[in-house]
Amino acid sequence: MSERKLMPQDLAPGMVLAEPVCHPFTRQVIWTSGTALTQHHIILLQRMELRAVRVIDMEGAPKGGVSLEGEGEALLSKAVSPAEAPKDPPVLRFTKPSAHGATSTNPTQPPRPAKASASAPAPRPSAKGTQFKPQAIRNEVLERNVQTIKHLHSQVKQSNRIDIQSVDQSVQSTIQRIVTNKELLNSLIDLRVYDEYTYSHSSNVMSLALVVGAALGYSPERLRILGIGALLHDVGKAMIPESILHKPGKLTEEEFNIMATHPANGIMLLSGYAWANTEIKNVVFQHHEKFDGSGYPMKLSGTAISEFARIVSVVDVYDALISDRPYKKGLPPNVVYQAIINGAGNHFDPRIVQAFVKFIVPYPVNCYVELNTGQIARVVRVTRPHLMRPLIELEGSLVDLSKDPRFTIVHMHKPAP
């Protein structure tokens, strides 16, 4: 095998990096040597002012690159550290934002939406004199969020572009109509949606993160930035092969290594956009870091991890553990709650966990729960501080679990519409 330098326009899918490519701002390694380039990588590189890319020339490889189907990028938790990086790795230099990146008079702030996006219809207004019931508001706002995320993934796959207008509209609608609506929040309706996991997860993480942010006293503008980062936290997964992303089972080690590249993929997707400020990028790049330094990709610890990323880390794990997958049922909320509490101080920031357990409702009103007796009951009311022991309707009778030790919830079912 030998090596050669190529301009980005001469790259082809399947070619393998002979040396790392560094992030233009942090100088951290984004793609390590041995990374098999995909068309998504090449499109990103072609939009950047890059001198050349050194690739491995493999003997016997067909012209245009070697096929490396099934090969993945190096696991970012094992990424080259700054001390181990070569002295002169290729550095990406960006030109001024082009048409694919929304511009802003303040480059650190996402632009305010000027008008409704055609790809993500605005919420339907209620009839004059008619008020939406809390559940109807919840359905309208959160279902729209899922459509925004589906459109986002499709857009990234097709053109590596992000429609910030529809993203911003979804975030602000969630803040204005749900998170800052105390009457609606106090009704304890579910803030999670139950669509295909890949899409519903990002919506759930955004909604839950916003509630935690509100509990921490964030201003509307800080909630907005947090919401954008949370909704986009997994945007890099749009560059992961569908066979891995939607695999109906556990990932192999090799597949996990590929999946673990999504924070780096996400930060590269955002790098050309003026609206993607440091706080948004930190959420995308750091949401798998752990408070004790055992996470990835950079093994950051404590307050070296941005507060927004620390929030998203908690709600990301919560929603992942509680959600049903094609190959397994989600864990009961009480089990997941305890796992989050047990993770305070090692996986998670204790201050964030404290806000989370006080304000995130595990069993929303009207959801159905399975009891230790095998019976199915409906949640009627949830009150603090008995979030884990709600009032339920069981076979026509009301049972207050906070006062009746005979019953324990072992599983939660999808809330009734």
pLDDT class for 227, splitting at 50, 70, 90? very high
Rounded Cα distance, 332 and 254, in Å: 29
CB 291 within 8 A of CB 302: yes
Tell me which CATH code domain 134-359 carries: 1.10.3210.10
Residue type, 204: N
Residue type, 379: V
39-52 pLDDT, tens digit per residue, is 767 766 766 556 78
Residue 368, beta-bridge partner list:
378
158-182 as b/e: b if 16+ CB within 10 A: eebbbbbbbbbbbbbbbbebbbeee
CA dihedral 291, 297, 303, 309 (to 10 degrees): -90
Q: Among the listed ranges 8-17, 215-224, 280-289, 314-323, which one has the minimum average pLDDT value?
A: 8-17
- Across the chain, what does the average pLDDT equal? 75
Nearest to 227 by CA among 269, 275, 174, 189: 174
302-328 pLDDT, tens digit per residue, is 999 999 999 999 999 998 888 877 667
Say yes or no to pLDDT of 393 above 90: yes
The arithmetic mean of pLDDT across residues 43-72, rounded, is: 50
Residues ≥6 apart with Cβ < 8 Å to 288: 260, 263, 295, 296, 297, 313
For 240, what's the count of Cα atoms within 13 Å in the CB-facing half-sphere?
A: 23
Q: So what's the pLDDT on residue 78?
A: 30
Say yes or no to pLDDT of 338 above 60: yes
The arithmetic mean of pLDDT across residues 89-104, rounded, is: 34
Q: So what's the pLDDT on residue 70?
A: 27
- What secondary structure, in 3-state letters, does the chain show? CEEEEECHHHCCCCCEECCCEECCCCCCEEECCCCECCHHHHHHHHCCECCCEEEEECCCCCCCCCCCCCCCCCCHHHCCCCCCCCCCCCECECCCCCCCCCCCCCCCCCCCCCCCCCCCCCCCCCCCCCCCCHHHHHHHHHHHHHHHHHHHHHHHHHHCCCCHHHHHHHHHHHHHHHHCCHHHHHCCCCCCCCCCHHHHHHHHHHHHHHHHHHHCCCCHHHHHHHHHHHHCCCHHHHHCCHHHHCCCCCCCHHHHHHHCCHHHHHHHHHCCCCCCCHHHHHHHHHCCCCCCCCCCCCCCCHHHCCHHHHHHHHHHHHHHHHCCECCECCCCHHHHHHHHHHCECCCECHHHHHHHHHHCCCCCCCCEEEECCCCEEEEEECCCCCCCCCEEEECCEEEECCCCCCCCEEEECCCCC
3-43 pLDDT, tens digit per residue, is 788 887 888 877 777 777 765 444 555 666 667 777 767 76
Say yes or no to pLDDT of 222 above 80: yes
Q: So what's the pLDDT on residue 397?
A: 95
| Domain range summary for the chain, segments of one domain joined by + | 2-78, 134-359, 368-412
Overall pTM > 0.85? no
pLDDT class for 218, splitting at 50, 70, 90? very high
CB 223 within 8 A of CB 212: no
Rounded Cα distance, 412 and 297, in Å: 33
Say yes or no to pLDDT of 196 above 80: no
